Amino acid sequence: MAQHGDRVRMLAGGTDLLVQLRSGALDNVNVVLDIKTIPELNEVAYDPGDGLTLGAAVPCYKIYNNREVAQAYPGLIDAASIIGGTQIQGRASLGGNLCNAAPSGDSIPAMIALGGVANVAGPHGERTVPVEEFCTGPGRNVLQQGEMLVSIHFPAPEARSGARYIRFIPRNEMDIAVAGAGVSVVLENGTITSARVSLASVAPTPLFVREAGAALVGKPATEESVKIASEIAREAATPITDMRGTTEYRKHLCEVLTRRALLTAIERAKEN
């Protein structure tokens, strides 16, 4: 990496990178570094006390085919199982999805909702970055020259916690999210003790809507409470109009998806 500077990109699944290289979107890049051979980047380590450490290069299918992980983190599986399609999931990784930093990255709101923290390594050592701070603009992330994403760590799921990611797409698979909502809640005796709400495709980066989660704390886990949060989510969104949707439609979807996701997360929390 030191040798090639900004002419090199990390290659994990390649499902975004190769497309971008061929389209000419990355004209200055002419070297790819296959990181799939680095052991830490392929690790899936789950411990009920410690949580999940997910290597940056682990492809989606290995995540959802891992029974323990699937049981403990259904909110993550929601995202991993719908990125692209079956073949894409054979290669695409959540680490790659995060580093690609598309506003529409399906896994990113899911990871934010679960409190994911990115482990970064570079020439000056290691550091951690909360996932919600990782993306800095469309296609841009916090990695400095010479740094790479090694893994993402998720805290162990608490009792009575539930998480959910849903997106809206015009077809039933394959599409980029027009809008997406990743949420998590923790319940105690029917009251929400913590909540996180994150949105895809409605801002320059995936959006962590702190206020929406904060508005749920201490509230009963009911449709009324959820509605307050989903309205806040809609207000927080700043989508553009493009070929996938209009500003008005996307803001509207934020409310719908946040509400639906929260209701499911609450159900999952109750069953947990």
Partner 1 sequence: MPRKTQVQATINGEPMDFLCEPRQSLLEILRDIIGLTGTKEGCNDGNCGACTVILDGRVVTSCLVLGVEVEGCEITTIEGIAIGHTLHPIQQAFLENAALQCGVCTPGFIVASKALLDENPNPTEEEIRFWLANNLCRCTGYDKIVRAVQAAAATLQETTA
Partner 2 sequence: MSTTSHEPNMVLVNEEFDVVGTRPIRHDGVDKVTGRALYGADHDTVGMLHGSILRSPHAHARIVSIDTSKAEALTGVFAVVTGQDLPETNAGTMVDTGGGNVDLKYLRENILARDKALYRGHAVAAVAASSLHIANEAAALIEVEYEVLEYVGSALDGMKKDAPLLHDDLKTNELGEKTDEPSNVATHFQFSKGDLEKGFEEADVAVEREFENVTVHQGYLEPQVATALWNEDGRLHIWCSTQGSFVVRGACSKILDLPVSQIRVVPMEIGGGFGGKLDVYQEPVAALLSKKTGRAVKIVMTRADVFEGTGPAPASHIKVKIGAKKDGTITAAQAYLAYEAGAFPGSPVGAAGMTVFAAYDVENIVVDGYDVVVNKPKSAAYRAPGAPNAAFAAEQVIDEIARALEIDPIDFRLQNAAKEGTRRVDGPAYPRIGCVEVLEAMKNHPHYKSPIEGPNRGRGVGIGFWFNIGFPSSCTIMVNDDGTVNLVEGSTDIGGTRASIAMQAAEVLGIAAEDVCPTVVDTDSIGYTSFTAGSRTTFATGWAAYEAANDIKRQMIERAAKIWEVDADAVEFENGVFKSENGSTLSMNFKELAGKLGATGGPIVGRAAVNPRHAGGSFAGNIVDVEVDPETGKVEILRFTVVQDAGKAIHPSYVEGQMQGGSVQGIGWALNEEYYMDDQGRMANTSLLDYRMPTSLDVPMIDTVIVEVANPGHPYGVRGVGEANIIPTTPTIANAIHDATGLRMQRLPMNPGAIMEAAWNQRK
Of positions 29, 40, 45, 90, contacts partner 1 by CB under 8 A: 90
CB atoms within 10 A of CB 86: 10
Of positions 92, 176, 216, 232, contacts partner 2 by CB under 8 A: 176
Residues 52-81 that bind partner 1 (CB under 8 A): 59, 61
CA distance 15 to 96: 9
* Cα Rg, the chain, nearest whole Å: 18
Q: Which one of 12-20, 140-148, 149-157, 254-262 is the stretch in contact with partner 1 (CB under 8 A)?
A: 12-20
CB of 173 to partner 1, least distance (A): 4
Comparison of 160 and 250: residue with beta carbon closer to partner 2: 250
Q: Does 173 help bind partner 1 (rule: CB under 8 A)? A: yes
Q: Does 172 help bind partner 1 (rule: CB under 8 A)? A: yes
Q: Does 25 help bind partner 1 (rule: CB under 8 A)? A: no
CA distance 148 to 126: 10
Of positions 74, 84, 95, 116, contacts partner 1 by CB under 8 A: 84
| Size, binding site for partner 1 by CB under 8 A | 23
Question: Do 117 and 153 touch, CB atoms closer than 8 A?
Answer: yes
Of positions 20, 214, 249, 263, contacts partner 2 by CB under 8 A: 249
Comparison of 153 and 250: residue with beta carbon closer to partner 2: 250
Q: Which residues bind partner 2 (CB under 8 A)?
A: 85, 168, 170-176, 178, 242-246, 248-249, 252-253, 256
